[in-house]
Structure 1
Amino acid sequence: MVPPRTTPPGGQRRGVLFDVDGTLIDSSYIHTISWWGAFRQQGYDIPMASIHHFVGMGGDRLVDNLLPQDRDREADRDVMASHGALYASHWPALRAFDGARDLLARCHEDGLAVALASSARKKDLQVMKGILAADPFIDGATCANDAENSKPSPDILVAALETIGVEARNAVFVGDAVWDMKAAAALGIPPVGVTCGGINAAELRDAGAVEVFEGPRDLLENLGSSAIGRLLRQDS
């Protein structure tokens, strides 16, 4: 059990939210190929580049954006189930990005409440948490069941904030997808982008990122000058 974060003297509790897929875990392209296979199983030939653009969006929205609007929507559940099964077959290949665990540890040790704001399936999140091996530094985590609407809706971020008892104005969110940036911006949370999920810096900035780093290690090495560093200096 992670001890609760303390509120800084004279200030309010502050926290940092992290997307997981493509941000802390190198899984964006595994999701892409899993969706590609799932679509093919249902008779749809969707280019991988098109799929990758929507990875990070909720699965229901991804399917709706990529498949014909006049399709039999009853089959959407089969597509999503196939994606889940194909993705699970890649679990042994999943790896954390360099610096991911160290970044979580540093934020925790500096006094920030740390939450994984993931919309992954519960079992996928459990696997990824095991790969991160950072439970002592994680104060809360969310999965798909915790949000009524998926990204770019901010529901999952709201749920993550509630798990750590932090207000949106006292938080920063780190993610790799355009949809992450839009979800954070909807709550007025400064979104920090990372390009390790395959989306370039220009796209992330256009979607609202206040700054962009190559990945967890780059963010960790520049933490003091980042939005997270500025959050840490509040009320100091």
Structure 2
Amino acid sequence: MTNTLVLDVDGTLVDTNYHHAVAWFRAFRRFDITVPTWRLHRAIGMGGDKLVAAVAGDHVERERGDDLRQAWEAAFEPMLAEIRPLEGAHRLVAAALEQDFAVVLASSGKRHHVDHYLKLIDAVGLPSTSSDDVEETKPAPDLVEVALRKVDGGGRAVVIGDSVWDCDAARRAGLPVVCLRTGGFGEAELREHGASAVYEELDRLRADLTDLPMA
């Protein structure tokens, strides 16, 4: 049986978290709502279906949720050309495949964003998820569960992410999680949310691929 790596994308393989925070800030300002960017950054990793209520309250979600998500997409779209893969992203994916892992990219992003990221890390053709695949995004476990169904691993699996929301989703799916600091979250809080190991960079994680916790 083949072991599976469930790889988060935003903040883990591509450097997008701060772009997302700025795009959300601009989206809220279009409706004269000011949410501090530090608070927005703390919510990045959640899907957009949950973020609005988390940072601005249920009443804003009820009144402006869909409008804000559309405004976020309009603000983020011009930034796509600025997005770059994180150092070691392609090497990690290539090494995992060479070591016979089943690799699936579990993103809650828009499908065309995910497709763009796959090109950036030379991973076109690998199975992947997007927000189109689930009704609930992270920290719900749905994306992890859908990702597992997209590969025929049949063995054990581990989630690799960068946020507390990745940790929560993995825990709810019954899987161990390993995290990167690349999304801007601290090691202590990632461990508090269940990360069994925290790495500063992808190349260090790649060196430990065969020693990752699996379940």
Fold shared per TM-score above 0.5: yes
C-alpha distance in structure 2 between counterparts of 1:71 and 1:173, whole Å: 32
Aligned 1:1-236 pairs, distance under 5 A: 12-71=1-60, 73-135=62-124, 138=126, 140-166=127-153, 170-227=156-213, 231=214
Change (3 A) 1:72 1:196: closer
Q: Which amino acid in the other structure matches residue 191 of structure 1? A: V
C-alpha distance in structure 2 between counterparts of 1:111 and 1:120, whole Å: 27
**Uncovered stretches (5+) of structure 1, i.e. residues with no partner:** 1-11
Are the aligned partners of 2:2 and 2:100 in contact in 1 as well (CA < 8 Å)? no
Are the aligned partners of 2:96 and 2:209 in contact in 1 as well (CA < 8 Å)? no
Are the aligned partners of 2:107 and 2:131 in contact in 1 as well (CA < 8 Å)? yes
**% same residue:** 33
Change (3 A) 1:205 1:225: same
Give me the CA root mean square deviation.
1.6
Number of aligned residue pairs: 215
Structure 1 segments of 4 or more deviating over 4 A? none
CA drift at 1:220: 1.3
TM-score by length of 1: 0.87
Are the aligned partners of 1:182 and 1:208 in contact in 2 as well (CA < 8 Å)? yes
CA drift at 1:72: 6.6
| Higher mean C-alpha deviation, range 26-35 or range 59-68 | 59-68
Secondary structure, in 3 states, of the residue corresponding to 2:178? strand
Secondary structure, in 3 states, of the residue corresponding to 1:170? strand
Are the aligned partners of 2:115 and 2:124 in contact in 1 as well (CA < 8 Å)? no
**Uncovered stretches (5+) of structure 2, i.e. residues with no partner:** none
Q: Deviations over 1:20-69 (max 9, x none)?
A: 00000000000000001101111110000000111001111110111133
Are the aligned partners of 2:178 and 2:198 in contact in 1 as well (CA < 8 Å)? yes
Q: Please say which structure displays the higher CA radius of gyration.
A: 1
Structure 2 match to 1:7? none
Secondary structure, in 3 states, of the residue corresponding to 2:198? strand
TM-score by length of 2: 0.95
